[in-house]
Chain A
Amino acid sequence: MILNITTTHKPATDLGYLLHKHPDKFQTFDLSVGKAHVFYPEKGEDKTTISLLLDIDPIDMVRGARNLGGDGFALGHYVNDRPYVASSFMSVALSKAFSSAMNGKCKEKPELVDVKLPFKVSIASIPAPKGGEILIRKFFEPLGYKVELKRHILDAKFPEWGDSNYFLLKLEHTITTKELLSHLYVLIPTLDNDKHYFVSENEIEKLLQKGEGWLKDHPEREQIIRRYLINLNSLSRQALERLSEGEEIENFIADPVEKTATEKKKETLHDKRIKLVAEKLVESGAARVLDLGCGEGKLIRQLLKQKQFTEIAGMDVSYNELLKAKERLHFDEMSPKQKERINLFQGSLTYRDKRLDGFDAVAVVEVIEHLDLNRLKSFERVLFEFAKPKTVILTTPNKEYNVMWEKLDAENMRHDDHRFEWTRNEFAEWANRIGKSYNYNVETFPIGDVEENIGAPSQMAIFKYGN
């Protein structure tokens, strides 16, 4: 909510000319959701500081933008950090208050425009996501800033709650005014995970304009662009939000932090797994196949390429994932013949469902571990007792392999939503019991490279009906 810019340039009072703001005035600008004030807490030949203060009206903000905030919790729109932090509003205010300076103009002392001046910037509360400190440094340091960070504690009465996601950010650099303002304009909103209140089509233009001369050479260029244009707005998730009791809805807020090596490794593994499942489905000779828990349709996209599959169905419990799948498949633009092959529908693994009847093969890829163990019995009956496909191909993580992932010990799960993970033995035992109870032949396989004593990262069972 407050940004202070200090210079020790001699005379420091030049700051007033540079920013076109009279040091003895208190100036106010209207913003869409409040006001911005510009004033000088200190003025002197040696040191002058200008403050940009946002006075956001919290009620106006939620009125106009109820659909925009996004904390995965319905009340979040009303009890909101926006009025207190430096966010995209700050960028809007910067461009409004200091537009001439940002465009590299200085009426009174044009010679100052290209002079590099010693600046200190202080931002009282700046939000930054997980790994925020690294991110802030990665963004500012390559531009030559000296970065000083102090993290605010969440609640002094409950120190056990730990640190907050807010920092006191201090920057130091000798740089032109235009550069300084452009950097702040672009980088402040990129540190914020929240939906920006101003993302629109001409945002890309603004970004390119403000980033001129420095952004294309920035080592974190891609990430800066991605985060600047972050757009999480999706109306369909609102109903879910209201039900989520403030707990995080995973998958919705795609974590915009750069992927770690582990995550990349997991992605490759997933691609491998999908490929293998697709191969096994082809081998099974199936014509009508169903992907239970199809998510955004990665496997379905693979299956579409195979002529053998005359009917490809995908079920997921998340309606949102199905919409994503349709989008990724370009379903709406498909020819009628193509569309006929595909059927996507919302369903649940724990309810008996006629729509699951009559498939030759069913794939259940990394799905069962998202069910509570006591609900697994229902899933078994739904699939093996009632839907009774000829072939079932099922995969789940191998718990023993977890020691190989960074930051994962044997006790931790690979994913927040995993309700259980099985060792190779546990999986084989379960699969064999299913085979016996429902008259299926069972074979299990590792997925991925096998390590001694711990096996492969993931595991697969193929069930064939009858003897």
Chain B
Amino acid sequence: MEIKVPELSLVVLIGVSGSGKSSFAKKLFKRTEILSSDECRALVSDDENNQASTNDAFDVLYYVAGKRLKNGLLTVVDATNVQKESRKGLIELARTYHCLPVAIVLDLSEKVCEERNLSRPDRNFGGHVIRQQNQQLKKSIRGLKDEGFRQIYILKSLEEVDSVLEIKREKLYNDKKCETGPFDIVGDVHGCFDELQELLSKLGYTINQVEVTDKNFGFNVIAPKSRKAIFVGDLVDRGPDSPSVLRLVMSMVNSGVAFCVPGNHDLKLQKYLNGKQVQLKHGLEVTVQQLENETSEFKKSVEQFLYSLISHYVFDDGRLVVAHAGLKEEMQGRGSGAVRSFCMYGETTGEIDEFGLPVRHNWAKEYRGKAKVVYGHTPVPEAEWLNRTIDIDTGCVFGGKLTALRYPEEELVSVKAKRVYCEPIKPLDFNESEYKLSSQQEYDDLLNIEDVTGKRIVQTRLRNNITIREENSIAALEVMSRFAINPKWLIYLPPTMSPCATSELPEFLEHPAQALNYYKKRGVEKIICEEKHMGSRAVLVICKDEATAIKRFGIENEGNGVCYTRTGRNFFNDSEIEKAFIARVNQCLTNTNFWDKFNTDWVCLDAELMPWSAKAQALLKDQYASVGSAAGGALPVVEQALQMALYRGVKDALPSLEKFVIKNKAIDKYVKAYQNYCWTVESIDDYKLAPFHILATEGEVHVDKTHEWHMTNIEEICQGDFKLFMATPYKIVDLKDQSSFDEAVQWWLDLTSKGGEGMVVKPYDFIAYGSDGLLQPAVKCRGSEYLRIIYGPEYDAPGNIDRLKNRGLSRKQSLALREFALGVEGLERFVNKEPLRRIHESVFGILALESEDVDPRL
């Protein structure tokens, strides 16, 4: 006997004790697919025959079954299931998860079962139990279909049971995952035949009228190369020529150039044609009239065609779902009455709006699924993406337009309605204003806490899954909520940067040889050295004008740009200075023709903003200058006291005196080191802005460019405002060439001896890979004097530097890579116009990772 079950189904085994259900299940299903009530009894009571634990055991069984079904896994329930009540719960469970319940009944003779039980010492219940179970079973069999089982198999003998060698798993009808497109998905047609023809031609389809055969209904449609059309349903009603639309679509579906899912209007027409009682309204009356002169044969074909339509399809390996009224994630690729009904009508709240129409619950607002959902049903003025869903019913029959979405290009193609065929009850274009926020922006106005809290796993293009631990997201939530700017501006946070490996030279903690060798050892031939400026990291998002801020970022009344720190805070505390600063940057970009050159209305720049004292004033005063002041107050006194003692003849004071003289000199150098990065700021001209990455512009994240590209393009920007902007000196190094290598080392020595912070070494390409995967996007090499600020004034004193050299970089490097991947991910998501929560997730992740415990001196 052959048994077939849907790929995703809840298989309920039915049979009295001893009928061999467990052996049957073990023979035909995977071990993990079987949930046995006996095993659950054992789990909760250590005794698989303990009837007292039955309730607990079934709680476990239902819980696990629910999880499996939710995850789309076939599940077999191995319990007697001879009573209707016990099956009822299972049917409910299948319905909850929108999968099909299947019954397999082992209807064997009482004798066989009794013998089997007798042979098992643990099953010492009397024969009356089996007799009773058997009676219940017999009574049940007839009712299984009515109970809701979609497939029922009854095995009446041991031979029959043994004859089942395999259980065939069948794909669901809605599974078209192997169809990968490209597709042209067409919105609600509603009998608008002219517009449909025009749209299909515009999409490149050739429509020939041919004689009616078995295969077609009068049309032969040739699709452009390898493309297929998909209709989202509601082919009929209200419009001028539903029969022709049906003919065309039926021809296309029959010949395999199109798929079609049914709409609620199609379903109603099918019911009518099938002779069911339906009310002739909402445009059905028009269709019925149009069909009057058609042959009954045609009408029958229509009825059969509509009846055969599958509620929704899942295409392209699960990446695309098409359903008439859309479909929630948990229903996709599943089959149940509820799924079908959702596909047809969407979700309604039961309320009626001011136009007398049912209020629809906007499921798309809560959509979090991975698949893109294309649907129609509700006429909208413009098709717009919202959380990876798009409604392409642009109300052609109401005088709007007929729209198609090209997939995967995501290009919208429309033709205008020739006229208004039907007056809409609700006007189509209400709520339209000049700078209207898109549906996505309106939705994105508020982020959801569930998208950021707890342990999170963020998928990135560069480095797959990145885990954010809960304690880190706790810290990030506070910082993000209390200090960060409007999350709509916050499309990027810079990653942390690792220093190079520790130098082997006795007098250096960091030396360029290690920085260059990091890349050389990993097979990178060409690198770039950029001077590292000592200011504060600043990320700038600058829009061409305020309209862009609204249109592209959904931000109103917050100016046309922002400048923020590495933790997402406003760089400037004074909003007037900020405004003036943003205006200067904007003007400079305009001056240098940046907007046209990059074909963009906005840009995200990664930069260093100097002086250090501008942002870090508090830090400088409370920390750096304070240490200098405390030491400056004490060390001369110490020196004097020791000198006096020595003068008196206390010879043993000498080593201490020598030591404290060194300390005193170290403090002087330390104070000079930080003073180097401080100057007084009185106007915008006193700032120096040194951008080093043009991170993103409209449609592009410039991580596919080389750093030389970034540097030369930034040099051009700097031409526009010499006072504020500062081009970063850099050097391109050929690592195969020793002299080039040595020049880079000398360059660093020169830079740092003049008080420079040091340099950043990057691979020539923005993203570089070595044998062990993604490489550090940059490695810093800091100057000896600068390091006093980091490791303390006396870090290079004899005996100190050797101890400090014992430092590990692996955590820092791993962190840098994860943050880099998240940073690029956030930008790419923004450029791809993904929902804000997806961008915020990446940015939030970086902030969270920044709270990880890593030596801050690195």
Chain A residues proximal to chain B, CB less than 8 Å: 1-2, 4, 24-26, 37, 39-43, 49, 51, 53, 55, 58-59, 71, 73-76, 78-81, 83-85, 122, 124-125, 127, 152-155, 157-158, 160-162, 164-166, 168, 238-240, 242-248, 317-319, 346-355, 370, 372, 374-375, 377-378, 381-382, 386, 417
Q: Are B623 and A79 in contact (CB under 8 A)?
A: yes
Residues on A with beta carbons closer than 8 Å to the beta carbon of B653: 26, 39
**Which residue of the partner chain, among B623, B640, B644, B800, contacts A76 with CB atoms under 8 Å?**
B623
Q: Are A246 and B857 in contact (CB under 8 A)?
A: no
| B505 on the A face (CB < 8 A) | no
* Chain B minimum-CB-distance residue to A51: B641
29 pairs, A vs B, C-beta closer than 8 Å: A1-B634, A2-B638, A40-B650, A42-B644, A42-B648, A53-B656, A55-B660, A73-B622, A78-B856, A79-B627, A79-B793, A80-B627, A84-B627, A154-B629, A157-B675, A158-B675, A158-B680, A165-B626, A239-B472, A240-B478, A242-B853, A243-B847, A245-B567, A247-B618, A248-B618, A350-B481, A351-B452, A352-B448, A372-B485
| Bound-state Cα–Cα, A170 to B61, Å | 80
**Which residue of the partner chain, among B472, B486, B629, B640, contacts A155 with CB atoms under 8 Å?**
B629
**Which residue of the partner chain, among A58, A165, A378, contacts B792 with CB atoms under 8 Å?**
A58
Secondary structure class of chain A's binding surface, majority of residues: mixed
Residues on A with beta carbons closer than 8 Å to the beta carbon of B472: 239
Known A-B contacts A25-B652, A125-B634, A351-B449; A370 and B627 likewise in contact (beta carbons under 8 Å): no
- Which B residues from 698 to 757 make CB contacts under 8 A with A? none
Closest 5 CB pairs of A and B: A26-B652, A246-B619, A41-B644, A164-B629, A348-B481
Q: Are B634 and A55 in contact (CB under 8 A)?
A: no
Q: Are B486 and A374 in contact (CB under 8 A)?
A: yes
| B474 on the A face (CB < 8 A) | yes
Chain B residues proximal to chain A, CB less than 8 Å: 445-450, 452-453, 471-472, 474-482, 485-486, 557-558, 565-567, 569, 613, 616, 618-635, 637-638, 640-642, 644-645, 648-653, 656, 659-660, 671, 675, 678, 680, 789-795, 800, 803-804, 847, 850-853, 856-857
Q: Are B656 and A160 in contact (CB under 8 A)?
A: no
Q: Are B625 and A154 in contact (CB under 8 A)?
A: yes
| Bound-state Cα–Cα, A75 to B616, Å | 13
Residues on B with beta carbons closer than 8 Å to the beta carbon of A160: 680
**Which residue of the partner chain, among A157, A168, A349, contacts B481 with CB atoms under 8 Å?**
A349
Residues on B with beta carbons closer than 8 Å to the beta carbon of A39: 641-642, 645, 650, 652-653
**Which residue of the partner chain, among B616, B618, B678, B792, contacts A79 with CB atoms under 8 Å?**
B792
| B837 CB to nearest A CB, Å | 10
Known A-B contacts A53-B641, A78-B857, A374-B486; A346 and B629 likewise in contact (beta carbons under 8 Å): no
**Which residue of the partner chain, among A2, A73, A157, A351, contacts B447 with CB atoms under 8 Å?**
A351
| Bound-state Cα–Cα, A319 to B481, Å | 12
| Bound-state Cα–Cα, A165 to B630, Å | 8
| A424 CB to nearest B CB, Å | 25
* Chain B minimum-CB-distance residue to A318: B478
* Chain A minimum-CB-distance residue to B627: A81
**Which residue of the partner chain, among B659, B851, B853, contacts A55 with CB atoms under 8 Å?**
B659
| Bound-state Cα–Cα, A378 to B632, Å | 50
Report which residue of B623, B633, B635, B792 has the largest number of chain A beta carbons within 10 angstroms of its beta carbon: B633
Q: Are B482 and A58 in contact (CB under 8 A)?
A: no
Q: Are A351 and B629 in contact (CB under 8 A)?
A: no
Known A-B contacts A1-B634, A124-B638; A58 and B449 likewise in contact (beta carbons under 8 Å): no
Residues on B with beta carbons closer than 8 Å to the beta carbon of A352: 446-449
Known A-B contacts A24-B649, A245-B619; A238 and B631 likewise in contact (beta carbons under 8 Å): no
| A68 CB to nearest B CB, Å | 15
| Bound-state Cα–Cα, A350 to B266, Å | 44
| Bound-state Cα–Cα, A361 to B817, Å | 46
Residues on B with beta carbons closer than 8 Å to the beta carbon of A158: 613, 625, 675, 678, 680
Q: Are A41 and B481 in contact (CB under 8 A)?
A: no
Known A-B contacts A73-B623, A81-B627; A351 and B648 likewise in contact (beta carbons under 8 Å): no
Residues on B with beta carbons closer than 8 Å to the beta carbon of A168: 633
**Which residue of the partner chain, among A43, A73, A317, A386, contacts B477 with CB atoms under 8 Å?**
A317
Q: Are B656 and A37 in contact (CB under 8 A)?
A: yes
| Bound-state Cα–Cα, A354 to B474, Å | 18
| Bound-state Cα–Cα, A78 to B847, Å | 23
| Bound-state Cα–Cα, A43 to B477, Å | 62
Known A-B contacts A25-B652, A58-B792, A84-B634; A73 and B619 likewise in contact (beta carbons under 8 Å): yes
Q: Are A317 and B481 in contact (CB under 8 A)?
A: yes
* Chain A minimum-CB-distance residue to B570: A372
| B858 CB to nearest A CB, Å | 11
| Bound-state Cα–Cα, A51 to B656, Å | 13
**Which residue of the partner chain, among B471, B633, B794, contacts A152 with CB atoms under 8 Å?**
B633
Q: Are A240 and B629 in contact (CB under 8 A)?
A: no
| A412 CB to nearest B CB, Å | 15
Report which residue of B620, B625, B641, B648 has the largest number of chain A beta carbons within 10 angstroms of its beta carbon: B641
Known A-B contacts A42-B644, A42-B648, A51-B641; A81 and B626 likewise in contact (beta carbons under 8 Å): yes
| A278 CB to nearest B CB, Å | 26
Residues on A with beta carbons closer than 8 Å to the beta carbon of B642: 39, 41, 53
Q: Are A240 and B622 in contact (CB under 8 A)?
A: no
**Which residue of the partner chain, among A122, A242, A374, contacts B850 with CB atoms under 8 Å?**
A242
Residues on A with beta carbons closer than 8 Å to the beta carbon of B478: 240, 317-319, 346, 348
Residues on B with beta carbons closer than 8 Å to the beta carbon of A244: 479
| A26 CB to nearest B CB, Å | 4
Residues on A with beta carbons closer than 8 Å to the beta carbon of B804: 59
Report which residue of A1, A153, A349, A386 has the largest number of chain B beta carbons within 10 angstroms of its beta carbon: A1
**Which residue of the partner chain, among A40, A71, A124, A354, contacts B622 with CB atoms under 8 Å?**
A71
| B661 CB to nearest A CB, Å | 13
Known A-B contacts A78-B791, A155-B675, A240-B479; A381 and B624 likewise in contact (beta carbons under 8 Å): no
